[in-house]
Structure 1
């Protein structure tokens, strides 16, 4: 399974696959995913945590001590907490983002869901999220959709939607760049 999908290959894919198999045995795939999503959210919010995760300056012991405090405060325990501690001890914490993405893909595949990467300028409300899920469900042949929403104010407005190998970019930034390019060509 790890070799089938480029997203789930390499070192990060092997770690994610091992975690997925362990979570499957313990019937905890959703709990682990929720904890990993929580940690991913913490990474997105904290520049200090990103620096701790990515910087080779910190030793494994320093990273493990700091990470343990973060996990305890965030309430991340169980398999996900143990997993994050193991990858820290193995000096693989720098790849945690790829591991989380690969784990999400494995869970989605197991559930028969399709993952959609959505980039928006501002957070979506529940009504818009459900409408987007419905639209994507009709495009994917009725499969359940797992939305991974990223907020990026730089796109100004609109959406960027990636489902599998397909991408639709209807962001205002892209449209403005197209107009700018067209105006330069018209000269």
Structure 2
């Protein structure tokens, strides 16, 4: 869940990127930034730490993301200047969401117990396209072994839970009601 401040930063950089016609470049950068921050607990600790000096955070981030565009570097510098480095991951996620909304891309989140085969992924993608009425759909597959089997599909605010864990919970509730 992104904070209002992160959304404001994301809207501002999206507007700048669109004016400079580099929205798609910044989209790639923000995906990389988000994935890097989500994948590194140590980086999240550094970004949130009040002990680490802002200049050290800035140098670390600029080194980590040295292959990114000037717009991404400017965002990092701005967040450091405003003492908002902890928002970087949320800003990146908000930018990705705003960019997808602007381009009409529907993002479907599928959680499965095992990785989807390419054949099954194509079927899920076709079903999501049918449900949303959009030909522009992206599918993100997350693996969560705790659902045991089946899948959980999220598209926007809609969720369909066809997981074995959910069905077992429903059976458990029915048994406890009848006692």
TM-score by length of 1: 0.80
Moved over 6 A (4+): none
Q: Summarize deviations over 1:144-185 as a string: whole Å, max 9, x none.
A: 113344333333333222222211122232222222323333
Distance 2:64 2:147 in 1: 31
Aligned length: 179
Root-mean-square deviation (CA, aligned residues, Å) is 2.5
Is contact 1:32-1:80 (8 Å) kept?
yes
Q: 1:108 aligns with which of 100, 104, 126?
A: 100
Distance 2:120 2:132 in 1: 18
Aligned ranges 1:46-65 → 2 under 5 Å: 46-65=40-59
Q: 2:34 aligns with which of 16, 40, 49?
A: 40
Aligned ranges 1:118-133 → 2 under 5 Å: 118-133=110-125
Distance 2:171 2:100 in 1: 38
Q: Name the residue aligned to 1:181.
A: 173
In the TM superposition, residue 126 of structure 1 has moved relative to its aligned partner by 4.0
TM-score by length of 2: 0.83
Is contact 1:13-1:99 (8 Å) kept?
yes
Change beyond 3 A, Cα 1:95–1:8: closer
In the TM superposition, residue 135 of structure 1 has moved relative to its aligned partner by 1.0
Distance 1:24 1:43 in 2: 25
Is contact 1:117-1:161 (8 Å) kept?
yes
Is contact 1:116-1:161 (8 Å) kept?
yes
1:134 aligns with 2:126: yes
Is contact 1:12-1:98 (8 Å) kept?
yes
In the TM superposition, residue 125 of structure 1 has moved relative to its aligned partner by 4.4
Distance 2:159 2:37 in 1: 25
Aligned ranges 1:22-101 → 2 under 5 Å: 22-72=16-66, 75-101=67-93
The secondary structure found in structure 1 opposite 2:50 is coil
Distance 1:99 1:148 in 2: 19
Q: Name the residue aligned to 1:169.
A: 161
